[in-house]
Amino acid sequence: MKSFTKVAMTALIGLGVLSTNVYADAAKGQKIYQKKLKEVCGKTGAVFAASHTQMEWETAKDEGKLVEMMEAECPAGKDFFESKKFETKYKSHLYDFVHDFASDSGNIPSC
Amino acid sequence: MTKKITLLSSLASLAVLSTSLTAAESDLQAQIDALNAKIEKMEKVNSYQNKQISKVNQQSANDNIKWTIDYRAAYDNLNYKYLDDAKKGDGTDDTANAGETYTNPALLTSRLWLGMAASPFEGLTFRGQLAVYGYWGAENTNETSDKSWRGSSRPHDWTVRLREGNFVYKFGNDWAVPMAASVGRRPASMGFLANHRDGDARPNSPLAHITNMEVDAAMVMFDFAEALLPGSYLKVVYGRAHDPVAVGSTTPYIDPELADSYDGPVDFLVLPMSIYNDGQSNLMAQYAMIFNSKGTRISDGKIKSAAGTTHMGALSYQLDGLNEDIDFLDSSTLFASAAATMTDPDSGYEMLGSTESETGYSFWAGFLFPDMMTDGGRFGVEYNWGSKYWTPMTWAEDTVIGSKIATRGSAYEGYWNIPIEGKNLSAQLRYTYIDYDYRANTTCYWDDPADKNLDSAQDIRLYVRYQY
């Protein structure tokens, strides 16, 4: 049995090391919104995300107009949206969040 | 004369050219107009299609049940070591187990949660979850001890059970304190702070330090986020954990023994509250009161009697992101929680082996940090400590060797949560060691903590999990 445990652990560690797929995280995006934007924008993340459909968020992202669209929904967040940190660190997570909870996403925020 | 002819010829050519140019311009304009008309038409079609796609999205998701899948296959290596002078629950010597060590080298389990959600209109939602949690090679038989508040949260048979089924109705959005009401079955497990060790990004609302079980209850929520502090709310939950209905008797659903309160219904009032939550600092508290808690009737020694009242309280704090400028610390989480439980037996009854009111204390701390090898993978270390009379409501599984949160003694834990394919496919490697100072916390207040049984227990867990 010891050898089975060893094999399982080795396999898992191998999986972990090989797992390098970069992915955006909607939960992280939700936290970023709560931490950086909720007070500034004066609306909840659910309302912010539901201001557009999934296709509208997607199109804005593809056309490089995500910042523009987010600013239109939250003008007070201009400095944050146009910061270098937003571009490099927060944008993908926040996009994943707004896309997940867009008006036609069908996802239902928990109580 | 020749000059005149040349001039006339040139003028004629210009006239012809001008006519041709005018005709070409006119043709070009016609083509532009036609293209504009086409573009306009296409824009209209595009706009119509977008609306249709949104409608289809809504119809396929919003207007019907949206299903989710959470499947986990786990391997556990379990080990229990009994004390040399182990005692049974009644205080007599445990001659069969004293000094013995028991091991299960490979417990293999599968857990499937089928989640469903629907929202016919804004403000009204339904949530449900069907659960199957069985060990490989299990017999499909129900035990009498299979209580509803842990039935689908511990490995058992392969029966499909209802783990969640409730509706939430939000109202008063324009009020200073918006509200929500809910009735039904709630998976009050994987609550605040327990979500980290299970690799869940979002915790359920109860404080895991004193509540980890499935409950049937009604709830009213007051949202104080605008009126008081960021993220603040209060939930008032009232429910039932045990009903002594006599199914199969000549008086079904009526308990003839209720009059002497041998086995009365166990109800609870729980007040989970978020005091402050700005996305980085999160401070939560909870008070709970259990009516007719179980214990022992002194006159005839009957256990599981309705023996008294239990009070519980916890204060939990989480700091998510220790320093924004350093990526490692920004992705790290620190948490600490303090809790207490107090039993208050009625006259003629014992709870936790005592006729007096007894208070137990507990402390729980944890630190999670990036593994620096995978994108999103995190290591976590946790420590729990509980005193002699510490007895929280943690009946759902937090480890298969027993609740480490309910440990009377010390529990040490280390884990590695690994995202293999984002949030859809993940894995975990976890080690838990429990060092008991008092009796293992496995019953509802009728065991005496002084009757020590286990010396230690440990669990090595490896799982893979698919979520969509």
- pLDDT per residue over B315-365, tens digit each? 999 999 888 888 889 889 999 999 999 999 999 999 999 999 999 999 999
Q: What is the pLDDT of residue B63?
A: 63
Looking at residue B393, what is its pLDDT? 93
Cβ-Cβ contacts under 8 Å, B231 against chain A = 34
Tens of pLDDT, residue by residue over B352-378, are 999 999 999 999 999 999 998 888 899
Give A86 to chain B, closest Cα distance, Å.
13
Instruction: Judge: A108–B118 Cβ closer than 8 Å, yes or no.
Output: yes
- Whether chain A has a CB inside 8 Å of the CB on B4: the answer is no
Cα–Cα distance for residue pair A96/B5, rounded to 1 Å: 78
Contact status, residue B189 vs residue B175, Cβ threshold 8 Å: no
Reference A101, options A41, A65, A53, A36; nearest CA is A53
Is the Cβ of B79 closer than 8 Å to some Cβ of chain A? no
Determine which of A22, A28, A104 to mutate to test the interface with B (most B C-beta atoms within 10 Å). Answer: A104
* Residue from A2, A7, A12 whose CB has the most chain B CBs within 10 Å, to mutate: A12
Q: Looking at chain A from residue 30 to 59, which residues have their Cβ under 8 Å from any Cβ of chain B?
A: 31-36, 38-39, 53-55
A25-73 pLDDT, tens digit per residue, is 778 888 888 888 888 888 888 889 988 988 899 989 988 889 999 999 9
Query: Per DSSP, what are the bridge partners of residue B309?
Result: B344
- What does the pLDDT read at residue A21? 44
Q: B252 and chain A: CB distance < 8 Å anywhere?
A: no
What pLDDT is recorded for position B324? 81
Task: Check if B280 contacts A (Cβ < 8 Å).
Answer: yes
Among B122, B129, B221, B278, most A C-beta atoms within 10 A, so best to mutate, is B278
B422 and A CB contact within 8 Å: yes
pLDDT confidence of residue B213: 92
Residues 6+ apart with CB under 8 A from B182: A111, B166, B167, B168, B169, B218, B219, B220, B221
Q: Minimum mean pLDDT among B13-17, B167-171, B344-348, B438-442: which range?
A: B13-17
As given in the structure block, the two tokens for residue B47 are 């706009």
Say which residues have a Cβ less than 8 Å from residue B252's Cβ, sequence separation at least 6.
B245, B246
Q: How far is CA B410 from the centre of its chain?
A: 24
Model confidence at B4, in pLDDT bands (50, 70, 90)? low
Q: What are phi and psi of B10, to 5 degrees?
A: -65, -40
Residue type, B424: N
CB within 8 Å: B125 and A55: no
**Could you tell me how far CA B131 lies from the centroid of its own chain?**
14
Quick: pLDDT tens for B95-109: 999 999 999 999 999
Q: How far apart are CA A65 and CA A70, in angstroms?
A: 9
DSSP-derived letter for residue B210 is T
Mean pLDDT of B226-235: 92
Please say whether the beta carbons of B414 and B380 come within 8 A. Answer: yes
The tokens 């939602």 sit on which residue?
A: B125
Tell me whether A25 touches chain B (CB under 8 Å): yes
Residues of A within 8 A of B376 (CB-CB) are 23, 25
B interface test, pick of A17, A19, A107 with most B CB neighbours within 10 Å: A19
What local confidence, expressed as pLDDT, does residue A19 receive? 45
pLDDT of residue A16: 47
Please tell me the distance from the alpha carbon of residue B359 to that of residue B354, in angstroms, as a whole number: 11
Q: Which residues of B touch A28 (CB under 8 A)?
A: 201
Q: Which of B87-91, B144-148, B274-278 shows the lowest mean pLDDT across its residues?
A: B144-148
Q: Which of B277, B420, B422 sits opposite A15 (nearest CB)?
A: B420
> Who among B278, B374, B418 is closest to A35 (CB)?
B278
Tokens standing for residue B275: 């005091």
pLDDT at position B339, please? 98
Helices within A1-111 (DSSP H only): 2-18, 26-32, 38-41, 45-49, 54-62, 66-73, 78-81, 84-85, 91-100
Pairing of strands B191-192, B204-207: parallel
Its sign, for the CA torsion A61, A66, A68, A70, is positive
